[in-house]
Amino acid sequence: MPIFDTITFSIAVLGAVLGLLNAWRSLIKDQIRVKITPKLYVPIKGQALTISHLDQAVVAHDPRWQTVYDNTKHLCFEIINLSYLPITISEVGFITNSKISRIVMLKHYCSGNIKLPQRLEPRSSLLIFGSEILGDDQIITIRRGYCETDCGRRFFGRSPALSDLIKRTKKA
């Protein structure tokens, strides 16, 4: 095969690969992607300290954190819009494995004292605090957290803090 044919073929293959990558990127860009992380929070003097997992280095430095972490049952959600489109969050709660398929957090407040539904711009986040403490019988049935958009799409998430809370509640 002459050198010119090899160069032409190489450029054609490169163009085809770049074309496929561009098509894939444009498809991904039009999708709604949301990351939801259930967390624990500790109310402190009108503010809230959120905990997604307990770092053992923190516990080694100050053992009181283990006590705070073990005794809190306040739940919140961090919702991050990973897409390039604005979305509106209309509902948050938990998916369960009981006859009641979900627990909707009706009593909540968002960071900045705003209410749901809340519009999330691209690449922005929202912190939603639950103002009610769930009972032990509800906590042990939780599988994961969810948020729902105005268009009806649901997104799900788990975290080490939620898993620890469920395990601690089952042991008690």
- Tell whether 50 and 84 lie within a shared domain: yes
Number of structural domains, the chain? 2
pTM of the model: 0.78
- Tell whether 162 and 78 lie within a shared domain: yes
* Chain-centroid distance, C-alpha 36: 1
- Tell whether 133 and 97 lie within a shared domain: yes
Provide block-wise average pLDDT over 10 residues at a time, the chain (172 residues).
Answer: 87 94 86 91 74 65 71 85 92 84 79 81 89 79 92 92 85 77
- Tell whether 135 and 84 lie within a shared domain: yes
- CA torsion through residues 125, 129, 130, 135, sign: positive
CA distances from 105 to 22, 41, 129 (A): 40, 15, 9
For residue 7, what are the domain limits? 1-30
